[in-house]
Amino acid sequence: MFNVSRSSVRSRSRLNVSTSGQSNGQRRHKPDHWILINTLLLLVIGLVLIYSISSALADTSGTSANYFIFKQLLAVGLALVAFFITAKVPLSRWRKHYKLLMGVAILATLVAIALPVNPSYPAHRWVRFAGLSFESVEMLIFAILIWFAHFLANRIKTNTVRSFSQTVRPILAALLVIGGIVAIIQSDLGSTGVIIAMMGIMIFVAGMPMKRIAIFAALVAGLGIVAILAFPYRMARLETFLHPSANCQSTGYQACQALIAVGSGGVSGLGLGSDVQAYGYLPEADNDSIFAIYAEKFGFIGSVLLLVVFASLFWRIAKVAEGAPDDFSRLIVVGVLTWISTETLINIGAMIGLLPLKGITLPFISYGGTSVVFFAAAIGLVYQVSRYTSHVSSRSIEHLNRRAGINDYSSHRRRIGGTYNPNLSGRS
Amino acid sequence: MPETLGSKLNTGPGRIRIWSVLLLAVLALFVLRLFYLQVIRYAHYKQAALSDQLKQYQIPATRGIIEAEDGNSDVPIVLNQELYTLFADPLFIKNPNQVASQISQIIGGSASSYVPELSAKNTQYVVIANKLTQSQNAKITNLQDPGLGTKGQDYRVYPDGSLASQVLGFVNNNGVGEYGIEQALNPVLAGKPGLLKAITDVNGVPLAASKDNTQIPPTPGQNLVLTLNLGIQQQLETILANEYKATKSQELSAIVMDPYNGHIKAMANYPTYNPANYAQVPNQSLFQNAAVDYPIEPGSVMKTLTTSAALNVGAITPNESFFDPSQWVINGFTIHDIKQDGGAREQNIQSILALSLNTGATWMLMQMSQPGGTQITAKGIVTWHNYMVSHFLLGQPTGIEQGYEATGYVPPANLGDPSINLRYANTSFGQGVSVTAIQLLTALSSVLNGGTYYQPTLIDKTIYPNGQVSINKPKVLERNVVSPQVGQELIPLMEGVVKAYLNGGFSFMNFPSNYIVGGKTGTAQVANPSGGYYNNIFNGTYIGFVGGNRPQYAVIVYNIKPNVPGYAGSYGAQPVFADIVHMLINEGYVDPKS
């Protein structure tokens, strides 16, 4: 049994002689194409969607009909470049320069706060650089991802994950600083939630005891409640969320219109060319509300298909994490998974009335360059890691395990893959 | 060898699996929620969506045009012209100054005056200008500025200016006809607007085809060809304008009618207005067609109807003579002759009309009560009332196609009224009864034509949207109004009145001998709203006819409060009648005796 799969892995790995120089003993495989396919599928869906509502967007924004689709094509082009960079540049190098990345991200955040692109807009989230504008928080999340994976990998290596002084205290300090800047100064509670979720799941995967995690979760929940109570507009959003139909003409307008768009899509949707809600009824049709527009066009069937694509992407990323060759890369992949999935769930959850509205985009689909570029960069990292994992699919492993009477495949898989170098795992 | 999920799996892949399964579980929950929203609650949300998105629009129907006879052909006198409203969506105006100067080059006005609208905030619809012409619209469209748009709307245009304006009426900004034919026949002219139900954007602009869109095409209005003869109408209006000044009139109305079918050949009032500029008319009474909507006490012209009724019931004969005591005391009140013509003496039917003897009209009412008698009785009152209301159809609208037609007033034959005899003595010569010009003229026409009351009409033909033409047949409202014999008797009596005036020095009443011209004057006292009558204000009226072998045109003139040296009827209305008849004869509109 093992021989069969071993040879199949070898036969593949033979084609890809390792050039990464990342490790001794790691072999390079074909990467997980499914991740790339799912991502490209989502990007194409996003482009088609934005193209199909471009006349509606032009109608409500006063731009030419092709303005949005050209800008999004440009963003997707940049995203592909970002993807190839992060997929090519070895993870070890990203890790080595985590301080530089953090520095640039913090600088960008400070610039966004100090030199607002639009001074009349209170949320200082945008940075203008070389003729392009981007949201500083996306860069910050990316930098935190690298730094935090590095931090946790070191703690795992030194077996100090449980240490209060070594691990817990620095994390709490970092969370306070980040939360203070992003949640309070930039008043971006949505992104703060994404950062906290990302770091929390990374801590969880790094092996923090459940008791500590529970305390951590309670702490975050308490701060979250404070952050909501302290700001009237957040209270209003919560109130709106709890009683959407009572506020349809005021604060709940967007929530109501989103539900109308989703619900009126019915089983099969209005069709690609015949949406209505994008024509000024539903605010942020190209952006935060794009899922509702999609659901209106493609109905229940199309919505489920989109969720399946996301589920497939998440599952493949999780597989990569499970098979990651070392703790750093595993934490990176888990971080990316959490980043993308949290934004997806928060965005869709708000559109179907399960969560309050947040200014959170739908990954790869929403209009907007920054989000697409950084998500593509994040996927690039996962794609790179997927080259070094075992490529036996979980189904075939389970299949093999079942045949062999083995229930727990995770420890066996390392043996199956035969490319795992325990020296690099840092696992205690 | 196999390990169980437990403390050993609290790091790495095991926890990743927990997280990824949790994510998939949330996505599965989303699928359930989507099923609830999109499948179970679909009808609710579809309804909510349509109540927001589906809007109804009327598609305006093209209003029918109005034509009239001019010479041997029908020419349009009311047309539609599509003019355009220029509007802007300031959101799309990138350079307001440049666009403003482009607009001012095309439609005039100073460029700077357009800038504020073009750069307005918080709106996506601003009206820049109204009533742009076709060519201006084309030039604006050629700019291809996404921020500018035009919207066509039909406006009425009047090639002949103010001609027949009070007969025509106008169309208000909502597309509804007001006054005249436009009001009376608004449903016919307007057609039926179509209906567009369409899914729209948030600003109400219809989106491309959707299965929820429905459209009912509009039905255009019908075109009308009037009975008016534009030549006569034009001349009549000129005559009225001149006589209005000459008689220092307050208001002057006249109608020329074909007594044999009720067709109105001309109908006019002065002063008048231009319907193209109706919005600028300061005095709304100018919109009124006084000839149909302003009843007055007509005065002695009424004697023609009293005579006809008396002749028809056999109470008198045309050549009958009687002793006129020159005054009657009725209900303690004395009725005098207003003309000092020698006091009590022998008079006849002809002289009753020529001298306009009120005592004579009262005597005819007495004959209707009891032949040979000198008392007014219930029989005379009921008979007279029956003739006025049931034969001559006074006190009710004629049904002519005009807005605001008045009913007039005939006092009821209330025999319990202690002064009913006096009241009816007065009505016999046209006081205490109110009649519009069209009512009186149609009533007289029914005598002249031998006893048929044709509903007066302005409509000669109706042209349907499919091109089918329908001739408007004369509508008989009353047959046997009087016997044909009575018409034959009245015509020479009225001719005698014209001759008497000519002999009395009214040289303008001299008409060529190969035409028959008859008439009757009326000088009516004007009721004082605070009771009684003014003793120095009169309305002048005249009713008559002109023709060759038979009366071809019946003509009526109402001159409201003219300032003339003599009787208002003889000096205020009679000259207008004479002008009209001379015009009809001189312009060849009348067929001479053969």
Mean predicted confidence (pLDDT) in A332-358: 93
Residue in B38, B89, B203 nearest the CB of A267: B38
Classify the phi-psi angles of A108: left when phi > 0, otherwise alpha if psi is within -120 to 50, otherwise beta.
alpha
In terms of average pLDDT, the best of A139-148, A171-180, A254-263, A350-359 is: A139-148
Task: Give the three-class secondary structure for B299.
Answer: helix
Cβ atoms of residues B581 and B592 within 8 Å: no
Q: Does A410 touch chain B (CB under 8 A)?
A: yes
Q: Does B131 touch chain A (CB under 8 A)?
A: no
- Residue pairs between chains A and B whose CB atoms are closer than 8 Å: 160
Q: How confident is residue B404, by pLDDT bands cut at 50, 70 and 90? A: very high
Q: Say what the pLDDT of residue B12 is.
A: 52
Burial of B219 (0-12, 13-18, 19+ CB in 10 A): middle
Q: How confident is residue A358, by pLDDT bands cut at 50, 70 and 90? A: confident
Mean predicted confidence (pLDDT) in B408-433: 94
Cβ atoms of residues A32 and A261 within 8 Å: no
A392-399: long-range contacts (C-beta < 8 A, 24 or more apart)?
Answer: A392/A5, A392/A8, A392/A9, A392/A416, A392/A417, A393/A319, A394/A319, A394/A322, A396/A5
Cβ atoms of residues B291 and B269 within 8 Å: yes
Q: Do B201 and A265 touch (CB under 8 A)?
A: no
Q: Say what the pLDDT of residue A122 is.
A: 53
Radius of gyration of chain B (CA): 36
Q: Which residues of B touch A264 (CB under 8 A)?
A: 42, 45-46, 48-49
Whole-number Å distance between alpha carbons of A238 and B60: 48
Encode pLDDT of B494-520 as tens digits: 999 999 999 999 999 999 999 999 999
**CA–CA min distance B202, chain A (Å):** 5
Q: Pick the closest to residue A421 from A326, A327, A333, A320 (CA basis).
A: A326
Q: Pick the closest to residue B438 from B229, B253, B282 (CA basis).
A: B253
Assess whether pLDDT exceeds 60 at residue A181: yes
Mean predicted confidence (pLDDT) in B271-299: 94
pTM: 0.65
Quote helix, strand, coil % in chain B, to nearest 5: 40, 25, 35
Cβ atoms of residues B295 and B408 within 8 Å: yes
Q: Say what the pLDDT of residue A28 is.
A: 72
Q: Which residues of B52-65 are buried (b: 16+ CB within 10 A; e: fewer)?
A: bbbeeeeebbbbbb
Encode pLDDT of B76-132 as tens digits: 999 998 888 888 888 788 888 889 999 999 988 888 888 888 888 777 788 888 888
Mean predicted confidence (pLDDT) in A375-380: 96
Alpha carbon of A318 to those of A123, A284, A315, A334, B358: distances in Å? 34, 31, 5, 7, 117
Residue A7 lies in a domain: no
Residue B351 is which amino acid? Answer: S
Of A20-29, A152-161, B324-333, B526-535, the range with the lowest mean pLDDT is: A20-29
Q: Which residues of B touch A299 (CB under 8 A)?
A: 38
N residues, chain A:
428
Q: Which residues of B touch A295 (CB under 8 A)?
A: 34, 38
% of chain B with per-residue pLDDT over 90: 72
The token pair that represents B288 in the structure block: 């009124």
Q: Which residues of B touch A202 (CB under 8 A)?
A: none
Whole-number Å distance between alpha carbons of B478 and B482: 10
Assess whether pLDDT exceeds 60 at residue A392: no
Encode pLDDT of A15-39 as tens digits: 333 334 344 345 677 888 999 999 9
More confident residue, A325 or A341: A341
Mean predicted confidence (pLDDT) in B286-294: 96
Place of tokens 């007033």: B409
More confident residue, A14 or B284: B284
Q: Say what the pLDDT of residue B90 is.
A: 83
Assess whether pLDDT exceeds 70 at residue A365: yes
Q: Say what the pLDDT of residue A424 is.
A: 44
Selected residues 25-64 of chain B with any CB under 8 Å from a CB in chain A: 26-27, 29-31, 33-35, 37-39, 41-42, 44-46, 48-49, 52-53
Residue A414 lies in a domain: no
DSSP string, A137-159: HHHHHHHHHHHHHHHHHHHHHTT
Q: How many domains does chain A have?
A: 1
Q: What are phi and psi of A23, to 5 degrees?
A: -155, 160
Alpha helices (runs of H) in B327-387, residue ranges in sequence order: 349-355, 358-369, 378-386
ω into B529 cis (within 30 of 0): no
Whole-number Å distance between alpha carbons of A228 and B553: 92
Whole-number Å distance between alpha carbons of B170 and B174: 11
Residue A123 lies in a domain: yes
A44-49: long-range contacts (C-beta < 8 A, 24 or more apart)?
Answer: A45/A294, A45/A306, A45/A309, A45/A364, A45/A365, A46/A72, A46/A76, A46/A290, A46/A364, A46/A365, A46/A366, A46/A367, A46/A372, A47/A72, A47/A73, A47/A76, A48/A272, A49/A290, A49/A293, A49/A294, A49/A297, A49/A365
Task: Map out the domains of chain B with their CATH numbers.
Answer: 58-114+125-221 (3.90.1310.10), 229-274+289-586 (3.40.710.10)
For the packed helices B13-35 and A290-322, what is the interaxial angle rounded to 10 degrees? 160
Residue in A60, A259, A349 nearest the CB of B37: A259
Q: Say what the pLDDT of residue A369 is.
A: 81
Residue A12 lies in a domain: no
Residues 6+ apart with CB under 8 A from A193: A224, A342, A346, A358
Residue B432: strand pairing partners: none
> Range of A35's domain?
27-389
Residue B155: strand pairing partners: B81
Q: What are phi and psi of A79, to 5 degrees?
A: -65, -40
Q: Do B38 and A262 touch (CB under 8 A)?
A: yes
Assess whether pLDDT exceeds 90 at residue A134: no
Residue in B39, B45, B203 nearest the CB of A259: B45
Mean predicted confidence (pLDDT) in B361-384: 95
Of A82-86, A380-384, B89-93, the range with the lowest mean pLDDT is: B89-93
Of A42-46, A53-57, B20-24, B110-114, the range with the lowest mean pLDDT is: A53-57
Q: Say what the pLDDT of residue A132 is.
A: 66
Q: What are phi and psi of A135, to 5 degrees?
A: -85, 125
Assess whether pLDDT exceeds 80 at residue B529: yes
Mean predicted confidence (pLDDT) in B551-564: 97
**CA–CA min distance B146, chain A (Å):** 9
Whole-number Å distance between alpha carbons of B22 and B184: 76
- pLDDT, averaged across chain B: 91
Residue A167 lies in a domain: yes
Q: Say what the pLDDT of residue B208 is.
A: 65
Whole-number Å distance between alpha carbons of A379 and A383: 6
Q: Pick the closest to residue B458 from B404, B391, B399 (CA basis).
A: B399
Assess whether pLDDT exceeds 50 at residue B299: yes
Cβ atoms of residues B421 and B384 within 8 Å: no
- pLDDT, averaged across chain A: 81
Positive or negative, the Cα torsion across A164, A228, A254, A67?
A: negative
Q: Pick the closest to residue B497 from B327, B303, B256 (CA basis).
A: B303
Q: How confident is residue A97, by pLDDT bands cut at 50, 70 and 90? A: very high
Alpha carbon of A363 to those of A297, A308, A342: distances in Å? 19, 14, 10
Classify the phi-psi angles of A119: left when phi > 0, otherwise alpha if psi is within -120 to 50, otherwise beta.
alpha
Q: Say what the pLDDT of residue B256 is.
A: 98
Of A254-258, A295-299, B36-40, B440-444, the range with the lowest mean pLDDT is: A254-258
**CA–CA min distance A305, chain B (Å):** 10
Residue A107: how many other CB atoms lie within 10 Å: 13
Assess whether pLDDT exceeds 90 at residue A395: no
Assess whether pLDDT exceeds 90 at residue A146: yes
In terms of average pLDDT, the best of A14-23, A52-61, A314-323, B302-311 is: B302-311
Radius of gyration of chain A (CA): 22
Assess whether pLDDT exceeds 90 at residue B545: yes
Residue A118 lies in a domain: yes
DSSP state, residue B473: -
Residue A22 lies in a domain: no
Q: Do B42 and A295 touch (CB under 8 A)?
A: no
Cβ atoms of residues B241 and B249 within 8 Å: no
Whole-number Å distance between alpha carbons of A326 and A149: 11
Q: Are strands B170-171 and B327-330 parallel, antiparallel or unpaired?
A: unpaired
Q: How confident is residue A121, by pLDDT bands cut at 50, 70 and 90? A: low
Q: Which residues of A touch B203 (CB under 8 A)?
A: 280
Residue A311 lies in a domain: yes
CA–CA–CA angle B351, B354, B355 (5° rounding): 80
HSE toward the beta carbon, residue B214, CA cutoff 13 A: 5
Q: Which residues of A touch B44 (CB under 8 A)?
A: 263
Mean predicted confidence (pLDDT) in B276-285: 91
Mean predicted confidence (pLDDT) in B530-553: 94
Q: Are strands B327-330 and B321-324 parallel, antiparallel or unpaired?
A: unpaired
Residue A220 is which amino acid? Answer: V
Q: Three-class SS string for B208-270?
A: CCCCCCEEECCECCCEEEEEEEHHHHHHHHHHHHHHHHHCCCCEEEEEEECCCCCEEEEEEEE
Assess whether pLDDT exceeds 90 at residue A405: no
Residue B193: how many other CB atoms lie within 10 Å: 16
Q: How confident is residue B427, by pLDDT bands cut at 50, 70 and 90? A: very high
Task: Give the three-class secondary structure for B369.
Answer: helix
Q: Say what the pLDDT of residue B209 is.
A: 59
Q: Does B333 touch chain A (CB under 8 A)?
A: no
**CA–CA min distance A244, chain B (Å):** 14
